[in-house]
Chains A and B, each alone.
Chain A
Amino acid sequence: MQELALIQPGRMLDGEAAGEAERSRLHREFEAHLAECGPLAFRVAQGVLRNAADAEDVAQEALLRAYRKFDRLQDVRRFRGWLVRISFRLALDRWRSARRRERRETEWSLPEQRPAPPSTEGIAAASEFQARLERALDELPQKFRIVLLLAAIQGYTLEEVAGMLEVPVGTVKSRLFLARKQLAEKLK
């Protein structure tokens, strides 16, 4: 009976070493992006969820997913936009499920258990406006929300926003224009 040699230790070690070196290189490259893009992922999630704890969870999850698929990213220059899209999608999913849970709790809770509506005297005008702005923002279409958030993040030009979303600058300007008009209409 012919003896089959399935394992060749020498060759396996070489292959393992090459794989290990590649993994280390990718890890270092990802960490280099983390300093800039980590806060971006957090801010995108925060912009949707407006809750620091949830935003941190979502941003961590987005960064982890990006890390696991980092070796498949062909152009590293697209990393920022790719991460923004992952964060935004995860944040929207979390936001929608929170809304559904809130609706269920409101629907099924007894009247005395529901939170009392805030009185007009108790709320400062700025806070009221902010609350109305957040509600109006939640009602906008996704593509308007993301472009408003990214354009509002300090340090990003319209050209950089267009690069992240992989659309022309004219499209970004057009979406900003329509989004602001819709917000103004809801808040007038």
Chain B
Amino acid sequence: MNCTSIQKEITDSFAAGDCVSSSRVSKHLESCASCREFYGSQQILFRSLKDGLQAIANQPMPATFLPRVQSRLEKAAGEQHSWNPNWRFALLAAAAVLALSLISVWHRLEQPAAVHGIAKQVPMQTGHPSFGEPSPAIPPSPAPGRAHRQRKTPKAFVPLHDLAPEVIVLTEERLAFAKFVAQLPQERDLALALANPAPPARDIPVEVALLEIKQLHLPPLEPGGAE
């Protein structure tokens, strides 16, 4: 019988917490001195392991431990209680500040303020619209083939909310945007592209040509080649 497998079985039994060996092991131990010695050494080792672990895990607890914990808990409970009313007032104050901020922002958005003011400072070409001011509407581009004639369109006030598309401009970008808008009269096509809606997408049919495969020429394999 293989002593290695017997010794492995002995170790596994002790590791599993079983002190009683199988009949196969017992029978082998009767006739094998080295395995009996191994059994004895494993027995001592695992008993020492168990005792050592119990010594580590069951150290006496200091008598002052629980009283100290209780006093810390009392202190923590007191802190939680005194914190609550302050938290309530802080929340109310924060809600009031938030409400005031929202009202201020709403009020600002309703007025055509900064962009309008900045746009006025930029030199403008006469007869062309500026953002938010009484201005003529942008005339449509003439049909191809016809001579281009500049029409005089009556001046009409274009309020902010009637201009399309609406643009939300960040505060730090208002100046740049105002300059861009001021340049639009010089870039007529760009202005029209911004003012007019995008054309609907059209499905362009794709032409697919048939693939022609010419006749293939397959030379025969050389005789005696390796497979």
Tell me the A residues contacting B by CB distance below 8 Å: 6, 16, 19-20, 23, 27, 30-31, 34-35, 38-39, 42-43, 46-47, 50, 52, 55-56, 59-60, 63-64, 67-68, 129-130, 133-134, 137, 148-150, 152-154, 173, 176-178, 180-181, 183-184, 187-188
**Interface size range on B against A:** 35 or more
CA distance A124 to B53 in the complex (A): 18
Q: Is there contact, CB below 8 Å, between A68 and B76?
A: yes
Q: Is there contact, CB below 8 Å, between A60 and B52?
A: no
Question: Which residues of A have CB within 8 Å of B72?
Answer: 60, 63-64
**Of B45, B53, B80, most A-chain CB atoms within 10 Å:** B53
Known: A180-B46, A181-B15, A184-B45. A130 touches B92 (CB 8 A): no
The answer, among A133, A154, A188, for a CB contact under 8 Å with B58, is A154
What is the minimal beta-carbon distance from A50 to any residue of chain B, in angstroms? Answer: 7
| Residue B131 at the chain A interface, CB threshold 8 Å | no
The answer, among B59, B70, B80, for a CB contact under 8 Å with A46, is B59
The answer, among A27, A38, A137, for a CB contact under 8 Å with B56, is A137
Q: Chain A interface: which of B61-69, B168-176, B191-199? A: B61-69
Measured CB to CB, the nearest residue on chain B to A67 is: B73
CA distance A149 to B59 in the complex (A): 12
| Residue B213 at the chain A interface, CB threshold 8 Å | no
Question: Which residues of A have CB within 8 Å of B12?
Answer: 177, 181
Known: A23-B77, A177-B15. A130 touches B52 (CB 8 A): yes
Question: Which residues of A have CB within 8 Å of B211?
Answer: none
Question: Which residues of B have CB within 8 Å of A68?
Answer: 76, 80
Q: Is there contact, CB below 8 Å, between B52 and A133?
A: yes
Question: Which residues of A have CB within 8 Å of B42?
Answer: 184
The answer, among B11, B16, B45, B57, for a CB contact under 8 Å with A153, is B57
Q: Is there contact, CB below 8 Å, between A149 and B56?
A: yes
Q: Is there contact, CB below 8 Å, between A42 and B49?
A: no
Which B residues from 13 to 32 make CB contacts under 8 A with A? 14-17
Q: Is there contact, CB below 8 Å, between A34 and B70?
A: yes
The answer, among B49, B57, B68, B80, for a CB contact under 8 Å with A184, is B49
What is the minimal beta-carbon distance from A84 to any residue of chain B, in angstroms? Answer: 12
Q: Is there contact, CB below 8 Å, between B45 and A63?
A: no
Q: Is there contact, CB below 8 Å, between A153 and B52?
A: no
Tell me the B residues contacting A by CB distance below 8 Å: 11-12, 14-17, 42, 45-46, 48-50, 52-59, 61-62, 65-66, 68-70, 72-73, 76-77, 80-81, 84-85, 92
A-B contact pairs, 24 of them (CB 8 A): A34-B66, A34-B73, A38-B66, A42-B65, A43-B61, A46-B56, A46-B57, A56-B68, A59-B69, A63-B69, A63-B72, A64-B69, A64-B72, A64-B73, A133-B56, A134-B56, A149-B57, A152-B50, A152-B54, A176-B17, A177-B15, A180-B15, A184-B14, A184-B49
What is the minimal beta-carbon distance from B48 to any residue of chain A, in angstroms? Answer: 6
Question: Which residues of A have CB within 8 Å of B16?
Answer: 173, 177
Other A-B contacts than A39-B65, A46-B59, 6 sampled, CB-CB below 8 A, are A23-B80, A42-B61, A64-B72, A67-B73, A154-B54, A176-B17
Question: Which residues of A have CB within 8 Å of B85?
Answer: 16
Question: Which residues of A have CB within 8 Å of B58?
Answer: 43, 152-154
What is the minimal beta-carbon distance from B17 to any residue of chain A, in angstroms? Answer: 7
CA distance A50 to B17 in the complex (A): 25
Question: Which residues of B have CB within 8 Å of A59?
Answer: 65, 69
CA distance A177 to B73 in the complex (A): 39
Known: A23-B80, A43-B57, A153-B57. A38 touches B69 (CB 8 A): yes
Measured CB to CB, the nearest residue on chain A to B73 is: A67
Q: Is there contact, CB below 8 Å, between B56 and A52?
A: no
